[in-house]
Amino acid sequence: MKVYIKAMAMNRSNLRDWIEDHTYQVIVALGQLYLFPEGNRTHWRKEVWEKFSRMHTLKPSRKLPSAQFILDNSYAIYQNKMSSILKYVIDKESNYTPTSNIDDERFRLIVEDYFLWLANYLSQTELLDKDDVLEELDRLGLTETYGR
C-alpha cells in the first residue's frame, strides 16, 4: 500500500476568505501591542505570528499566492478601518489602560509596513519563521517590553 501526502491547497476564493479572516485577528493583536504597554505582550506577539504561520498554496498550480494577492486580501480590506479597530481593541481589553498618545495614522502605517513585509515573505515561502516575525515587530517598535 502506498500513502501519498499532498499539501493542502486552496482555491482562490477560499484562500481569499482565509487571508481576510486571519488579517483581522492579526490587526487586533497589533492594536493590542500598540495600545497597551502593560498588557500581555508576549502572548500578543505570538498571536501575530500564529495567524499566518503557514501560507496555503493555490489549486491547481500548488504555487504560493503573489504578494499582491496577499496584500489585496489583507491590508487593503482594512486600511480605512484602523480607528474602529483600535476602538474595538480598547473596548475588548478593559483590564488594561491604553497609552495616552493614540495616533490612528501612525497605527495604520505600522499595520501597512507589517503586511507589506508579510506579503513579500509569504509569497516566497510557505512557512513563516517565528523569529523573523518577532524581529519585524521589534523593528516596528512593537517590542516585548514596551518602549524599548
Percentage of residues of the chain with pLDDT beyond 70: 93
Judge whether residue 7 has pLDDT over 60: no
Mean pLDDT of 14-19: 95
Q: What number of residues does the chain have?
A: 148
Higher pLDDT, 94 or 49: 49
Instruction: Please state the pTM of the whole predicted model.
Output: 0.90
Residue the block writes with cell 508579510: 118
> Which residues, at least 6 apart from 1, have a Cβ–Cβ distance to it below 8 Å?
none
Segment 117-122 shows an average pLDDT of 98
Predicted confidence (pLDDT) per residue in 28-86, tens digit: 999 999 999 888 999 999 999 999 999 999 988 889 999 999 999 999 999 999 999 99
Residue labelled with grid coordinates 476564493: 13
